[in-house]
Amino acid sequence: MKIATWNINGVKARLEAALSWLGSARPDVACLQEIKSVDEGFPRGAFEDLGYQVATHGQKGFNGVALLSRTGFDEVRRGLPGNDADEQARYIEADVAGARGLITVASIYLPNGNPIGTDKFAYKLAWMERLEAHARRLLALEMPLVLAGDYNVIPEPIDARRPAAWTGDALFQPESRTAWRRLVALGLTDAIRACYPGDDLYTFWDYQAGAWQKNDGIRIDHLLLSPQAADRLVAAGIDREVRGGEKPSDHVPVWVELDT
Annotated active-site positions, please? 109, 150
**Identified binder of DNA from the candidate list 93, 150, 159, 257, rule CB under 7 A:** 150
Q: If binding is defined by CB under 7 A, does position 9 make contact with DNA?
A: yes
Exposure letters 107-123 (e unless 16+ CB within 10 A, then b): bbbbbbbbebeeeebeb
Q: If binding is defined by CB under 7 A, does position 10 make contact with DNA?
A: yes
Q: If binding is defined by CB under 7 A, does position 12 make contact with DNA?
A: yes
Tell which positions 88-127 bind DNA, by CB under 7 A: 111-112, 114, 120
**Identified binder of DNA from the candidate list 4, 32, 153, 220, rule CB under 7 A:** 220
Mind spelling out the 3-state secondary structure of the chain? CEEEEEECCCCCCCHHHHHHHHHHHCCCEEEEECCCCCHHHCCHHHHHCCCCEEEEECCCCCCCEEEEECCCCCEEEECCCCCCCCCCCCEEEEEEEECCEEEEEEEEECCCCCCCCCHHHHHHHHHHHHHHHHHHHHHCCCCCEEEEEECCCCCCHHHECCHHHHCCCCCCCHHHHHHHHHHHCCCCEEHHHHHCCCCCCCCEECCHHHCCCCCCEECCEEEEECHHHHCCEEEEEECHHHHHCCCCCCECCEEEEECC
Q: If binding is defined by CB under 7 A, does position 36 make contact with DNA?
A: yes
Q: If binding is defined by CB under 7 A, does position 152 make contact with DNA?
A: yes
Closest separation in Å from C-beta 110 to DNA: 8
Q: If binding is defined by CB under 7 A, does position 11 make contact with DNA?
A: yes
Q: Which is nearer to DNA, 63 or 228 (CB)?
A: 63
Interatomic CA distance for residues 75 and 216, integer angstroms? 39
> How remote is the C-alpha of 61 from its chain's centroid?
19
Closest separation in Å from C-beta 258 to DNA: 26
Interatomic CA distance for residues 69 and 94, integer angstroms? 10
Q: Which is nearer to DNA, 12 or 100 (CB)?
A: 12
Q: Which is nearer to DNA, 93 or 250 (CB)?
A: 250
Please check whether residue 223 is in contact with residue 236, taking contact to mean a CB–CB distance below 8 angstroms: yes
Q: If binding is defined by CB under 7 A, does position 24 make contact with DNA?
A: no
Q: If binding is defined by CB under 7 A, does position 247 make contact with DNA?
A: yes
Q: If binding is defined by CB under 7 A, does position 214 make contact with DNA?
A: no
**Identified binder of DNA from the candidate list 93, 95, 190, 250, rule CB under 7 A:** 250
Q: If binding is defined by CB under 7 A, does position 34 make contact with DNA?
A: yes
Q: If binding is defined by CB under 7 A, does position 61 make contact with DNA?
A: yes
Binding segment for DNA among 71-79, 181-189, 203-211, 227-235 (CB under 7 A)? 203-211
**Identified binder of DNA from the candidate list 18, 128, 171, 223, rule CB under 7 A:** 171
Interatomic CA distance for residues 170 and 122, integer angstroms? 10
Q: Which residues bind DNA (CB under 7 A)?
A: 7, 9-14, 34, 36-37, 60-62, 111-112, 114, 120, 150, 152, 171, 204, 206-209, 218, 220, 247, 250-251
